[in-house]
Every structure is written in C-alpha cells, then in structure tokens.
C-alpha cells in the first residue's frame, strides 16, 4: 500500500507517541526521544513526522485546553490509532520472526 510505509524515524516517533499517551505533543515527543536515544532532533522535524503519521492514519490528534505556560497557547495532543498500533505490532512481529531465525552460532567466542 503506497504511503503507509513506516520509516525508521517515523517508527521511533510513533513508538514515543504510544509511550507518552496521553501527554504526547511536539516538545514532549522531542524530549522523550532525546532522553531515550540521545538523538537531538529539531522540533520542526518532529512536527513533520507527526503530520506525516497523521496523514497516513497512524495517529490522530486534537487540540488540548488552554495552558498557563507558553503564552497560553494550546497543545496538539497525539494518540495512536488502532491502525497505528497494528503497524507497530506488524513491525515488531516481523522483527521478532527474523530475529528468532538467527542461528545460535557463537560469534567468534570460542
């Protein structure tokens, strides 16, 4: 299916959105990725990835309520759709399937 391919960075963002539920919005996702992987990513890249995931139907979003920080501006919260969850499951099971087939040879340790 064209357009539903899940890139490496997208998968990372998607996982983070799932993990942060229900507090997943741009800056939070960026910070989480920084904390978990050490990758420092520009906020605009996160926005782009989130918007792409939205277009592909892996996540859905809505605006939150007014806040006290950031000049009272609202946040856009993202959450996984069931289709997004399924995409993550598929990716995970494909990975496991292949991982389990790695023969149990020692890699140069004897």
Partner 1 sequence: MNKRPHISPPKWADRFLELYCKEQFLEEIQGDVHELFEARINKQPPVLAKAKFIWDVLRFFKWSNLKKSKRLNSNIITMTRNNFKVAARVLWKQKTNTALNIGSIAIGMACFILISLYVRQELSFDKFHEKGDRIYRTWAKEDYGEGQQFFYTSSPLPLAGALEANIPEVEATVRVDYNRFLVGEGENRINELVSIVSPNFFDVFTFNLNKGNAAKPLGRQDVVLSEEYAQKYFGSDDAVGKELVLQIGDEQLSYQVSAVMENMPRNTGFQADMIVSNEDMERFYSPRALQAWFNIAPETFVLLKENASVESVEAKLPGMIRTVLADEVQEGEYVLGLQPLTDIHLNTDFPAAAMPVGNPNYVYVLATIGLLVLIMACMNYTTLSTGQSIKRAKEVGIRKVVGAQKKGLVWQYLSESLLITAFAALTGFGLAYLLLPTFNQLAGTQIAIPVDYSNVILFLGIVLTVGILTGLYPAFVLSNLKLLSVLKGAQSSKGAGFFRKSLMVFQLLLTIFLISGSMVMRSQLNFLQNSDLGYEREAMVYVNLYSKPDASGLIDRINSGFENAEILKSKLQTYPDIKSIGTANHMFGTSGWTGLGFSDKQGQFRQFSLLITDAYYNSSFGIELVAGRDFDPELEIDKTESIIINEAAAAYFFNTESPLGKQLPGNDFGTHRIVGVVKDFNFQSLHTEVSPLIITQNARPMVQGASDFSINSSPIPKVFFKYTGNSLLGVQSLLEETWAGTFPNEELSFSFIDERLRLMYENESRVNQIAGIATIISILIASFGLLGLTIMVVNNKIKEIGIRKVLGAPTFTILSMLLRQFSQQLILAFIISIPITWYLMNQWLSDFAYRVDVGVMVFLISGVLSFSIMFLVISYHAVRASRSNPIKALRVE
Interface of this chain with partner 1, residues 74 to 93, rule: CB under 8 A: 74-76
CB of 62 to partner 1, least distance (A): 11
Give the nearest distance from C-beta 16 to partner 1 in angstroms.
Answer: 15
71 scored as a contact of partner 1 (CB under 8 A): yes
Which stretch of DSSP H or E encloses residue 61?
strand 59-63
Dist CA 84 CA 13 (whole Å):
11
> Which element (helix H / strand E) includes 15?
helix 8-20
Through-space distance between the first and last CA atoms of the chain, rounded to whole angstroms: 46
Site residues (vs partner 1, CB under 8 A):
25-27, 42-45, 47-48, 51, 63, 67, 69-71, 73-76
């Amino acid at each position: 299916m064209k357009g539903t391919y899940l890139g490496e960075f997208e998968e990372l963002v998607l996982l983070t959105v799932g993990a942060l539920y229900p507090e997943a919005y741009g800056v939070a996702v960026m910070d989480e990725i920084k904390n978990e992987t050490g990758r420092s990513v520009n906020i605009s890249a996160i926005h782009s990835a989130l918007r792409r995931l939205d277009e592909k139907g892996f996540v859905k979003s809505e605006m939150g309520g007014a806040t006290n920080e950031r000049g009272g501006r609202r946040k856009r919260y993202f959450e996984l759709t069931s289709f997004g969850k399924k995409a993550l499951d598929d990716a995970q099971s494909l990975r496991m399937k292949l991982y389990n087939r790695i023969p149990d040879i020692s890699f140069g340790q004897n």
